[in-house]
Amino acid sequence: MFLPARRAKASAWLALAAALAGAPGAVGCGKKPVTFEPAEIERHSMLAGVSPGFLLGAATSAYQIEGGNQNDWTDWEAGHYPDGQPHVSDGSTAARAADSWNRWRQDVVALEDLGANVYRLGVEWSRLEPAEGAWDAVAAARYREMLMALLAARPHPIRPMLNLYHFTLPRWVAARGGWEWSGAPQAFAAFAARAADAFGDLVDLWCTLNEPNVYVVKGYLAGQWPPGVRDPARGARVLARLLDAHGLAAAALRAHDRVDSDGDGAATRIGLAHNVRVFDPEGGPVDALVARSADDFYNRVIPEAVATGHVHISLPTVVTIDEAAPGLRGSFDWLGINYYTRDIIRSRIARALTGRGPPYEVVADAAGSRARSDMGWEIYPEGLYRLLLTFARYGWPIIVTESGLADRAGTVRPGYIRSHIYAIDRARAEGVPVVGYLHWSLIDNFEWSRGYTGRFGLYTIDFAGDPELTRRPTPAVKTFQELAAVLGLLPPPPAP
Ligand code: NOJ
């Protein structure tokens, strides 16, 4: 995923290859060889000993579930690649999605049934601010209704974690160049301020941005998401812009949300959701070098910038960004990590240098024994454990803001949850301050360029056949309820 092969533009890959060639020595990514034993996971007592305040819930994003939005993604969905293939592989759109804009009460019921105590949901910038400086008070009122319903949920309140940017931009921002527009961070911070004014009395947990690195890779390296660019130099600048936007938005949230709605002593608890991925070399030193370089760019730029107040992104011969960003320091109350899988890297430097493709390909694990999700992603819970140990060194409390898999049949998800909770528990046992786990996703939804082919929901939806879009529990709901029972959020399950 980091450097997808599709539609690679020679000059871009050349540039990246040059960058990789200049990378420092390989040390790998969260290198700690470990293999989980299935029997050990089976015996493990999930979440034993977590503090009562542990956040247990699920996540969604506004565009992927709401329906009825109009933004840069809506425009992208209507487009095609030069070879005639639609931008969304199954030709679908998010026009209706799960219709959560109208059916959100069903989502709250689903969360109640799970026993969740937190829900990460998005507010859609283009809906609330359809033109620069405008504010849709009716839409804001509906979001308030949702937030109030979460806080009034049974058998206990569900804390909202409100996400402000999740890959979609209002058309008026996109028309000015999206995140390449120098005014975008300020515009986003102004939106954050208004969101804080509108929802701050109901929300303490704020997530400014979702996966800036994925946005850059998909939108500016692979050209698979809007704006459909393949230019690493522009991508690097956009990543810096997004960091800037995060810093300004965090300051705006702190200035505008002064209400400690959950009474825990803080009006705001701010973070962002960072997609992390293990990059393991398949073999020798060149693979290791390339894997290390991918790890640096993908996993480390963001937390390093926030920890140091300095943005450092280096793509030698293409662009080096070295900018003081003092506003970033202190902008995290927590680090959100979205974890799905790993890439095993076989370097293809020669290919890249001759402009024939990206500098590596992703290969199967040596034994070829690892299960994969419906979308082909390796199921590798050890990676979550390794990355948690890696990110612990920054000292922020960590919330797993997403973890999950595409599993249309719903049969693999229970085991997936168990093994990833096991990973979290092992990391906690080694002192990593993991304070929450949010499954992606609550319900099936619009999986970006994969349309409705990737089914991530704890609750599944028959988009084509069920006009009511009923949220139907998959077997993993029971697994999740077992977790909730451990935390005392639901009564213990009946003895078998
Ligand atoms: C992470 C993204 O935040 C979300 O939008 C996406 O659906 C999931 N990954 C699964 O790909």
The tokens 């690195």 sit on which residue? Answer: 213
Name the least confident of 181-185, 317-321, 406-410: 317-321
Contact 440, 404 (CB under 8 A): yes
**Mean pLDDT across the stretch 429-454?**
98
pLDDT of residue 316: 58
User: In ligand 1, which atom is closest to the CA atom of 406?
Assistant: 10
Confidence of residue 345 (pLDDT cuts 50, 70, 90): very high
Using left for φ > 0, alpha for ψ between -120 and 50, and beta otherwise, residue 284 falls in beta
**Mean pLDDT across the stretch 80-85?**
96
> Pocket of ligand 1, candidates 413, 445, 456: which has the most ligand atoms within 8 Å of its Cβ, to mutate?
456
**Mean pLDDT across the stretch 353-366?**
80
Confidence of residue 317 (pLDDT cuts 50, 70, 90): low
**Mean pLDDT across the stretch 323-337?**
98
Task: Note the pLDDT tens digit of each residue in 280-292.
Answer: 999 999 999 999 9
> Pocket of ligand 1, candidates 88, 337, 338: which has the most ligand atoms within 8 Å of its Cβ, to mutate?
338
Indicate the average pLDDT of the chain.
Answer: 92
pTM comes to 0.94
Rounded alpha-carbon distances, angstroms, from residue 461 to 99, 299, 480: 11, 33, 18
pLDDT of residue 16: 45
Contact 172, 131 (CB under 8 A): yes
Alpha helices in 257-348, H assignment, sequence order: 285-295, 301-308
Residue 50 is classified by DSSP as -
Residue 179 φ then ψ, to 5°: -75, -5
pLDDT of residue 352: 76
Residue 495, burial from CB neighbour count under 10 angstroms (0-12, 13-18, 19+): exposed
**Mean pLDDT across the stretch 76-88?**
97
The tokens 């989980």 sit on which residue? Answer: 36
Query: What CA–CA distance (Å, rounded) separates 377 from 420?
Result: 15
Name the residue among 461, 411, 375, 484 with its Cα closest to residue 99: 461
pLDDT of residue 27: 30
Task: Tell me: pLDDT of 30 over 50.
Answer: no
pLDDT of residue 369: 77
Percent pLDDT > 90 in the chain is 86
Task: Tell me: pLDDT of 9 over 70.
Answer: no
pLDDT of residue 380: 97
Nearest CA to ligand 1 atom 7: 447
Nearest CA to ligand 1 atom 11: 447
**Mean pLDDT across the stretch 93-101?**
98
Task: Note the pLDDT tens digit of each residue in 126-167.
Answer: 999 999 999 999 999 999 999 999 999 999 999 999 999 999
Question: Under CATH, to which class is 10-486 assigned?
Answer: alpha beta
Task: Tell me: pLDDT of 63 over 80.
Answer: yes
> Pocket of ligand 1, candidates 161, 163, 402: which has the most ligand atoms within 8 Å of its Cβ, to mutate?
402
Confidence of residue 55 (pLDDT cuts 50, 70, 90): very high
**Mean pLDDT across the stretch 255-273?**
97
Query: Beta strands of 348-386 (E only): which ranges?
Result: 360-363
Distance from the alpha carbon of residue 449 to the mean position of ligand 1, in angstroms = 11
Query: What CA–CA distance (Å, rounded) separates 484 from 155?
Result: 12
Distance from the alpha carbon of residue 447 to the mean position of ligand 1, in angstroms = 7
> Pocket of ligand 1, candidates 167, 211, 225, 375: which has the most ligand atoms within 8 Å of its Cβ, to mutate?
211
Exposure class string for 47-80: b at 16+ Cβ within 10 A, else e: beebeeebbbbbbbbbbbbbbebebbbbebbeee
Residues 411, 280, 225, 242, Cα dihedral to 10°: 120
Q: Specify the higher pLDDT residue, 262 or 359.
A: 262
Query: What CA–CA distance (Å, rounded) separates 446 from 370?
Result: 26
Distance from the alpha carbon of residue 214 to the mean position of ligand 1, in angstroms = 9
**Mean pLDDT across the stretch 373-385?**
97
Ordered by start, the domain boundaries in the chain are 10-486
Task: Note the pLDDT tens digit of each residue in 435-444.
Answer: 999 999 999 9
Nearest CA to ligand 1 atom 6: 447
Confidence of residue 31 (pLDDT cuts 50, 70, 90): low
Using left for φ > 0, alpha for ψ between -120 and 50, and beta otherwise, residue 223 falls in left
Query: What CA–CA distance (Å, rounded) separates 307 from 326?
Result: 10
Query: What CA–CA distance (Å, rounded) separates 338 from 401?
Result: 5
Tokens found for residue 372: 């994969």
Tokens found for residue 179: 């995140």
Query: What CA–CA distance (Å, rounded) separates 358 from 297?
Result: 15
Task: Note the pLDDT tens digit of each residue in 14-27.
Answer: 344 333 333 332 23
**Mean pLDDT across the stretch 258-266?**
96
Residues with CB under 6 A from ligand 1: 61, 64, 210-211, 338, 402, 440, 447, 456
Q: Residue 398 forms beta bridges with which residues?
A: 335, 434
Query: What CA–CA distance (Å, rounded) separates 341 from 378?
Result: 6
User: In ligand 1, which atom is closest to the CA atom of 402?
Assistant: 1
